[in-house]
Amino acid sequence: MEDDISTKCPATKNYQLVRWVFLALLLGFIPAGVWAGTSDACGPAPAVKAALEQLPQRTPARTDWEFYQERLAAFQALLRQYPDDVFVQKAYIGIYNSWNSRSDKEKVIADYKARHERNPDDAQLAYLYGLTLVGRQTPEAIKLFDAALKQDPSFALPHLELVTIYRSQVFSNKPQSVQHLQAFLDACPASLGGYGALTGFADKEFLRPYAVKLRALVENRSDADAVDAYRTLWALEFKAHPAAEYDALRRQVGQDLARLRQLPREDKPQWYQTLERGYELVGDKKQADWAQEQYLTRFPLPCATVASVKFFDDHMFPGADSSPDKKHDFYRALYEQSGQWLKERPNCPVFWPYRYYGIENLDDIPPAEVEADVDEALQYLVRNDGPPGVSSGGYSRAAEILSKKHLQPQRVVEWAQKGLAKWEIESKEPLYDLNPEPDTYATNRAENRLRLLGYEIDGYLQLKQADKAQAQLEQMDWWLNDFKSLGGKENPARTDARLCAVYWELRARAADLQGRKQDAMAFYQNALLARLSAQQKPETGRKDELADNAHRLWMNLGGTEEGWQIWYGHPASDLANQATLTWEDAKLPLPAFQLTDLGGKTWNVDSLKGKVTFVNFWGTWCGACVMELPRLQKLIEQYKDRSDVQFITLDVDVNPGLLQPFMKEHAFSFTVIPAYSYAMQTLNVDGFPANWIVDANGVVRLKAQGYDPTEKWETGMKDAIEKVKLAGAAKSSPAASE
């Protein structure tokens, strides 16, 4: 969303105030710098805007902490220059909200709360205090924004914050969102800031006049903000018109590109980003690639290089069931490439996880190299996270790598303990109240605590310190019971079974270490049964330590190979042959909709009734989706003669104009329905690709999220379709109605 506020909007000004300021300037009572910083209700004054643009930007040379400190110091200097400017203070609050320090956030909240309490009738202070509370105490923030609008109806900024809040899943209120967006755009028709929010709406009649206004605003301008706004403009124009008019719109984009290409804006990143999007819309991949490469080369990003972007364009993470050779080749390439990326971008927090992926999936990296990599990663985290310290997740990942590689168990214990101590601090952080699933967030926190405790126990077991491991196992038992009381997971039973498998395996190893072989065997059996219950499959080509240890003990206790296969081998083999993608049962009547596909056909819930409907959610930007779509095309062709099954795909690109060039490039012919608002805001789909199976009554019966890259993908999809079809046939049979 493009939300830069770039121009001053017309506003009614108090004549006496203007007259007083003019006289004061003549008499020298007001310094020129203060007047230069005066902003209207829609955007910063030119001098303030220029000063904000000169603030330090994130570069590859700085860690996150260094950047935070540098930017904070620059803001404090700017505040001294423009102490009462609302746009400077808004940006100042933004840097605190972006940094993960509870104490810093609480300080800024307390500061603006005190300011507001001293001046409760000041609309700008009510607004600024509200900004500090969004995500923590959002209902209170809403009250403050509403109060600010009542105190000063000409002060338009609270409208934009309320648009964002009312578009969230938790506080979803479409009429309020529309009302506040219209109010902002009516108050600030020349401000580019509000137009980006329009891309989240789907009503063509609502969008069309605003698209016309935005084009009038930007088409004769050449500044960077106007160039950047073309991406919003094109999205609005394609969303506001039917697919039958897309060719004409594409010709207009071509004309825009010809004009933009002539502008002397090679020094602005927005120029390249806008050119890239425009070339994508007209289907010129060569020029789009050129613009992207120029952007990455001229404006180095902390966590992106031309080579890293190309690597993931050309490579897809292998699935759990991919061949050992395919996995090895991918992770070897990822390990080597990530090492090179880290040399170029040593302060990138994203490249270290890629390095870790390579380490844990390769067995031929020398132990000393693994230890050195983990040490270096933690040293980086210490530098990057600053005084607040390494997160519990940072310690957990380092402990996990060494634990899996059976290296330095004493350090595994140490890092797990540091992670648990940090977890206690993090657990006191208030939950983000715009999160649509707070229970899931709380459950994830509890799961992370159990993981850390598991690594600590594993370290003790590798150190042969069974008594210490036993003591922590009692703690883990208590925490597991606490975990079971939490909700939020889509499939809590499966998550619980997976954690129980870890717990019972650790218990078995402790008992085995203490010489209690029979107990150990019973615990191993519980671990294996829990793993089967969780439908957790060992990866192909990887050593299965749990099953190997249990099998060894089974045989040592006098068990037979035949007995082992009957008890565990055959069920495990059956599980291994199942599709990797997991389908979740659902019972969701599809909410009403009316959407038009790229061919001009209108779809609604009634269009889905009478047939089983396979619904795929995807986006052109989603790498896994792009991998899945060719297989979906083939699956659809296999069902082309079936009158009882139909397929539709719902695309979630903000700009539907991207779809036809994409479909042409890949020679796809399946039904595509642009459905950004419906999928993201009504259905709340939050992971892609996603596949739903809808029964003949328009009720969603099965859901799956993610992509299964194995050969079992097709079988899994067909089985899901037939499962829903058979269930529907059973319900409609005479026997079922008796």
Residue 232 lies in a domain: yes
Residue 37 has pLDDT above 50, yes or no: no
Res. 483 pLDDT band, cuts 50 70 90: confident
| Tokens matching residue 317 | 């993470």
Residue 32 has pLDDT above 50, yes or no: no
Phi and psi angles of residue 592, each rounded to the nearest 5 degrees, phi first: -60, 145
Place of tokens 């400017």: 85
Residue 189 lies in a domain: no
What CATH number has the domain bearing residue 659? 3.40.30.10
pLDDT tens-place string over residues 214-249: 999 999 999 999 999 999 999 999 999 999 999 999
Question: 252, 278, 298 — which closes off a domain?
Answer: 298
Residue 25 has pLDDT above 50, yes or no: no
Residue 493 has pLDDT above 80, yes or no: no
| Among the listed residues 293, 296, 353, 364, the one whose alpha carbon sits nearest the alpha carbon of residue 327 | 364
pLDDT tens-place string over residues 446-473: 899 999 999 999 999 999 999 999 999 9
Res. 11 pLDDT band, cuts 50 70 90: very low
| Among the listed residues 722, 707, 718, the one whose alpha carbon sits nearest the alpha carbon of residue 618 | 707
- In this predicted structure, what is the pLDDT of residue 31? 34
Res. 485 pLDDT band, cuts 50 70 90: confident
Stated length of the chain: 738
Percent of the chain having pLDDT more than 90? 72
704's enclosing H/E stretch is: strand 699-705
- In this predicted structure, what is the pLDDT of residue 24? 34
Q: Count of alpha carbons within 13 Å of 98, Cβ hemisphere only? A: 14
CA trace torsion 408, 414, 419, 424 (10° rounding) = 160
Res. 580 pLDDT band, cuts 50 70 90: low
Res. 492 pLDDT band, cuts 50 70 90: low
Q: Look over the chain and give the mean of its residue pLDDT values, rounded to a whole number.
A: 88
Which of 93-97, 308-312, 529-533, 534-538 comes out lowest in average pLDDT?
A: 534-538
Query: What's CA 58's distance to the chain center, in Å?
Result: 20
Residue 461 lies in a domain: no
Residue 16 has pLDDT above 60, yes or no: no
- Across the range 711-722, mean pLDDT stands at 90
289 near 306, Cβ under 8 Å? no
Res. 146 pLDDT band, cuts 50 70 90: very high
717 near 691, Cβ under 8 Å? yes
Res. 669 pLDDT band, cuts 50 70 90: very high
Residue 682 lies in a domain: yes
Residue 9 has pLDDT above 50, yes or no: no
Residue 677 lies in a domain: yes
Question: 271, 298, 325 — which closes off a domain?
Answer: 298
CA trace torsion 483, 488, 491, 492 (10° rounding) = 10
Percent of the chain having pLDDT more than 70? 90
462 near 406, Cβ under 8 Å? yes
- In this predicted structure, what is the pLDDT of residue 10? 32
Res. 436 pLDDT band, cuts 50 70 90: confident
- Across the range 269-296, mean pLDDT stands at 96
- In this predicted structure, what is the pLDDT of residue 318? 84
Region for residue 698 given its phi and psi (left: phi exceeds 0; alpha: psi -120 to 50; beta: otherwise): left
- In this predicted structure, what is the pLDDT of residue 392? 95
Q: How many Cβ atoms are within 10 Å of 421's Cβ, its own excluded?
A: 14
- Across the range 129-138, mean pLDDT stands at 95
Residue 376 lies in a domain: no
546 near 498, Cβ under 8 Å? no
Rounded-to-integer distance, Cα 137 and Cα 389, Å = 26
Residue 260 lies in a domain: yes
Residue 12 has pLDDT above 90, yes or no: no
Residue 489 has pLDDT above 50, yes or no: no
Place of tokens 């401000």: 191
Query: What's CA 198's distance to the chain center, in Å?
Result: 21
Rounded-to-integer distance, Cα 171 and Cα 163, Å = 10
384 near 65, Cβ under 8 Å? yes
Rounded-to-integer distance, Cα 614 and Cα 11, Å = 52
- Output 167-172 pairs: Cβ under 8 A, ≥24 positions apart: 167/197, 167/200, 167/681, 168/434, 168/436, 169/434, 169/436, 169/681, 169/684, 170/138, 170/433, 170/434, 170/435, 170/436, 171/138, 171/142, 171/434, 172/681
- In this predicted structure, what is the pLDDT of residue 712? 80
Residue 730 has pLDDT above 80, yes or no: no
314's enclosing H/E stretch is: helix 306-314
Which of 191-195, 437-441, 620-624, 656-660 comes out lowest in average pLDDT?
A: 437-441
Residue 18 has pLDDT above 50, yes or no: no
Rounded-to-integer distance, Cα 409 and Cα 135, Å = 40
Question: 298, 324, 348 — which closes off a domain?
Answer: 298
Q: Counting Cβ atoms within 10 Å, is residue 51 exposed (0-12), middle (13-18) or buried (19+)?
A: buried
Rounded-to-integer distance, Cα 172 and Cα 175, Å = 9
Which of 320-324, 333-337, 578-582, 715-719 comes out lowest in average pLDDT?
A: 578-582
List C-alpha distances in Å: 305 to 329, 358, 374, 380: 22, 19, 23, 19
Phi and psi angles of residue 302, each rounded to the nearest 5 degrees, phi first: -60, -30
Q: Counting Cβ atoms within 10 Å, is residue 349 exposed (0-12), middle (13-18) or buried (19+)?
A: middle
Q: For the chain, what is the total number of helices (H) and then of strands (E)?
A: 34, 8
Place of tokens 């218990």: 507
Q: How many structural domains compose the chain?
A: 2
For CA atoms 360, 361, 366, 372, the dihedral sign is negative
What domain range is 647 assigned to? 584-737
55 near 88, Cβ under 8 Å? no
Rounded-to-integer distance, Cα 127 and Cα 143, Å = 10
Residue 564 lies in a domain: no
